[in-house]
Structure 1
Amino acid sequence: MAQIDYFFATLSPYCYLAGLRLEEVAAKHGATINYKPFDIIAAFSRTGGTPPKDRHPSRQEYRAQELPRQARKLGMKFNLQPAHWPTNGAPAAYAFIAAQNAGGGDLGKLAHAIFRSVWADEKDIAQDDVIRACLEEAGFDPGLADSGLLIGAETYAANLEEAVERGVFGAPFYFVDDQRFWGQDRIADIDLYLAGEL
C-alpha cells in the first residue's frame, strides 16, 4: 500500500486551496496519508525561503493575484487578507496532533476545517473555541484541544526537523516513495504517479 507523507502548515493558503483532493486521490489508490503539521515560517529561514511579509513587492503582487485566481478556478471562497492572519498556528497544530493520536475522526476534514477557518471563515485558529469547533466538525472530541500539548509541541518540532532534513521548503509538500511534490497544483501529478503513469 502506498503512503503519502503530507507536510502542511495550519496557516498556509495553499494548503487551504488543496481542499480534500489529496484525500480523494489517496482513497482512489488505496494509499494512506501520514499528516505532518510543521512550522513553515521556521522552515523558510532554514531552507532559503522568505516569509510573505518580507518578500520583494513583485512577489507579493503576484501572490495577491494568484491566490484569488486559484480559488476562483477551484470554486472556493477565499479572503486574501483574512482578519486573523498571521496568527499563532501552533495551537491548532497541537490539537491536530492530539486528534491524530486519539483517532476516531477524519484527519483530512480536520485539516481542511482549520485552513478554511483562516482563509474563508474569518476565524482565529489560535482561539480555543475555533479549534474545538474544527475538532467537532471532523468527528473528534473537542476536548482534545486541551490535551496532549507537550506531545503536540514535541511532535510539531520533530516534524519541522524532519521537513528540513527531507528537503521540504514550502507547504503543502508531499512525498510518495522517493518522489517529492510541492504545491496544491501538484495533486493531479500524485494521482498520475500512483496510477503508474508518471
Structure 2
Amino acid sequence: MTRRVPRLYFNFRSPYSWMAVRRLRELLPDADRRIAFRPYWDADDATVKALADRDAEILYTPMSKAKHLYILGDTKRISARLGYPMRWPVDIGEPWWERPHLAWVRATHLGAGREFYDAVTAARWERAENVCDEDVLAKLAVSVGLDADDLLAAAHDEDIKAEGVGALVDAYHDDVFGAPYFKLGRQRFWGLDRVADFVAALQRSEDPDPVDGVPAEALDRVGGYDRDTAGGCG
C-alpha cells in the first residue's frame, strides 16, 4: 500500500506558521519536495458555504483580544531567539485571505509555489505589508516572474477556488484546527514547537524497513538467507 505524502498546512496570516516553515527548511532543506504544502486560511462566507456543501467546516476558533496581545509578545521573543527579523503587520478592516492563498495555488500550477510563498511571507512578516491588497500582491507576483493579473484572477477562478476548498476539506478530515499543522500518517503535530518532532518522525518513517531485524542494505549484500540455527546441517 502506498503511504500518504506528509502534509503541512500553512497560513499566511499566522506568524507561527511563517516561523515554522522557515525552521522546517533549516532542518530539512528539501522539505518542499518531500512534504505536500496545503493552504489553510480564514475563509469568507462563500468558501464556508462550499465547505458546508461537502459536510466540512473550518475548525479554527477566532482568538480573544487577550490571546492576541499575548501572541504579539510571544512571537517577538521567539523570532529574536531564532534570529528572524520580524515586523508585525497591522491588518486593517477585514482582509480577504482568499486572495493570497488562492494566488499561491495558482503559483504552484506555474511551478513557482515556493518562490511566491517566500515573497508573500517576506512581505508580511519582514516588511509588514498588507498581502491581501491587490497592488501589493501584484508586485509580489512580478517579483518572482509571474503575471500579476493571472495571480489576482485566481481568487475568482472557479477551478482554483474548488481546489482551495478541496484543501480545506482535507484539513477538516485531518482534524486541522490551526496552523502550522503537520500530518504524517496517523501522527499529528501542531505548532512551531513541534517542527523538530515532525522532522524526526518523518526521517524515521523513511528509514529502510528491517526484515526480522536485518537492515535492508545488509540483505542487499548477503542475498537470501535461512532461519536455521548456526551450524545446522539437517
TM-score (norm 2): 0.68
The reply to whether residue 96 of structure 1 matches residue 101 of structure 2 is: no
CA drift of 1:46 comes to 4.4
- Rg comparison, structure with higher value: 2
Unaligned runs of 5+ in 2: 52-56, 206-234
CA contact (8 A) 1:2 1:32 kept: no
Equivalenced residue count is 189
CA drift of 1:25 comes to 4.1
Alpha carbons of 1:122 and 1:61: their partners in 2 closer, same or farther (altered >3 Å)? closer
Task: Select 1:133's aligned residue among 135, 139, 152.
Answer: 139
Show the counterpart of 1:4: 6
Pairwise mapping of residues 58-137 of structure 1 onto structure 2 (< 5 A)? 59-80=67-88, 82-84=89-91, 87-103=95-111, 105=112, 107-137=113-143
CA contact (8 A) 1:8 1:172 kept: yes
CA drift of 1:91 comes to 0.9
Unaligned runs of 5+ in 1: none
CA drift of 1:164 comes to 1.3
Letter in 2 for 1:91: R
Q: Runs (4+) of structure 1 moved beyond 6 Å?
A: none
CA contact (8 A) 1:7 1:173 kept: yes
Letter in 2 for 1:90: E
Alpha carbons of 1:73 and 1:108: their partners in 2 closer, same or farther (altered >3 Å)? farther
Show the counterpart of 1:50: 61
The reply to whether residue 145 of structure 1 matches residue 151 of structure 2 is: yes
| Bigger proportion of residues as helix | 1
Taking the aligned partners of 1:146 and 1:161, their CA distance within structure 2 comes to 23
CA drift of 1:94 comes to 1.3
Report percent identity of matched pairs: 23
Deviates more, 1:90-99 or 1:18-27: 18-27
| Deviations 1:58-96 (CA, angstroms, capped at 9, x unpaired) | x3342222111111111122233x133562221111111
Show the counterpart of 1:161: 169
Which structure has the higher relative contact order (CA within 8 Å, separation 6+)?
A: 1
Taking the aligned partners of 2:21 and 2:139, their CA distance within structure 1 comes to 18
CA contact (8 A) 1:132 1:145 kept: yes
Matched residue SS, 1:10 = coil
CA drift of 1:28 comes to 5.3
The reply to whether residue 33 of structure 1 matches residue 35 of structure 2 is: yes
TM-score (norm 1): 0.78
Alpha carbons of 1:6 and 1:190: their partners in 2 closer, same or farther (altered >3 Å)? same
Letter in 2 for 1:51: P
Taking the aligned partners of 1:167 and 1:101, their CA distance within structure 2 comes to 26
CA drift of 1:123 comes to 1.5
The reply to whether residue 182 of structure 1 matches residue 193 of structure 2 is: no
Matched residue SS, 2:193 = helix
| Deviations 1:157-195 (CA, angstroms, capped at 9, x unpaired) | 221122112100100111122221111222211221123
CA contact (8 A) 2:40 2:179 kept: no
Matched residue SS, 2:123 = helix
